Structure formats: C-alpha cells, structure tokens
Amino acid sequence: TAIQLEPLIAETLKRFEVMHAEFEFIANTEAIRDVMLLMNPLHVEQMLMIILDNAVKYASLTKRIVIEGIRLKNEVQISVQDHGIGIPEADLPFVFDRFYRVDKARNREIAGTGLGLAIAKQLVLNYQGSLAISSVEGEGTRVQLTFPLHQIVDA
C-alpha cells in the first residue's frame, strides 16, 4: 500500500520534539506534500529515527535540526541537517559499516553500538533507495535519503 510521506515525517518529528525539548526541529517538507511511497511506514519511521537520533546524540551548542523534502523528476530526497560535532573526513567512508563508531574517546559518553546507520542503509537499499552523508567536523552533518520515483504514486 502507498503511504503519504509528509505526515509520517511530521509524526516522527513530533515525538522527537516531546523527547528533546531543548532542540528546535524545523520541517521544510511542503514540496513533498503529495508524494506517496510504496513503503512500510514502520521502515520509514525507523530510518528517520536512526538519523534523527544521531542528530540529537552528536549535537553541539546549536540545537537546531532541519529536515527538508525535495521532489525531483525521478526521485524524492529527504535530508536531515544538524549543527553538531560533525564527522572527520577520514571516518566518513566507514560510518555505514556495522559497529563503526568515530573516535572511541569522543564517543565514550555517548551510548551507541555503531549499528544505526548500517541498519538504515540496509532498509533504504531494500527500497532501491540510497543513503548519503556529508559532514564537516565541528560544523555539522547532513544525511540524505533518496527514493526513486517509480516508488511514487501521485495523491
């Protein structure tokens, strides 16, 4: 069955807003208002939760997280931008690997197994989508989900 993406994102964000009141969550998702995807809503939620959970966990002083939805001709893109501690360039290629965590000393106080992004990637690949990450250490991280248009049915 086809699911509507935007309300699902809004619901997930609402839960994070309640749990993390010190953060400001901004949703720019008007552009994907009519996008429907042939996906299990639980899978979409899980992907978003993994990415948002990281954005919260690896935050810095600027506690603002922006989620944006873009619709292109052949795909839909959902990105989560944080202004957290960022990821060193040398670690970036490995963050999707199972059990990989950046700098154990840095992460000592932050709970995690290093599985989140590996799971998210597998979920995304199951839907012929892709998961990309870009980051500048000390400035922030952007995680982008892309799903092909053939998964999309217009509302």
Residue ranges binding ligand ATP (CB under 6 A): 54-55, 58, 82, 84-87, 95, 100-102, 107, 112-118, 141
Q: Smallest distance from the beta carbon of 2 to ligand ATP, in angstroms? A: 29
Dihedral angle of Cα 54, 58, 62, 67, to the nearest 10 degrees: -20
Give the residue with the Cβ less far from ligand ATP, 109 or 154.
109
Q: Smallest distance from the beta carbon of 117 to ligand ATP, in angstroms? A: 3
Establish how many alpha carbons lie within 13 A of residue 32's alpha carbon, considering only the half-sphere containing its beta carbon. Answer: 29
Give the residue with the Cβ less far from ligand ATP, 62 or 113.
113
Give the residue with the Cβ less far from ligand ATP, 113 or 128.
113
Q: Smallest distance from the beta carbon of 128 to ligand ATP, in angstroms? A: 21
Q: Smallest distance from the beta carbon of 54 to ligand ATP, in angstroms? A: 3
132 vs 37: CA distance, rounded Å: 19
Q: How far apart are the first and last CA of the chain?
A: 13
Q: What one-character DSSP code corresponds to residue 130?
A: E
Give the residue with the Cβ less far from ligand ATP, 34 or 45.
45
Distant-in-sequence, close-in-space partners of 4: CB < 8 Å, separation ≥ 6: 35, 36, 155
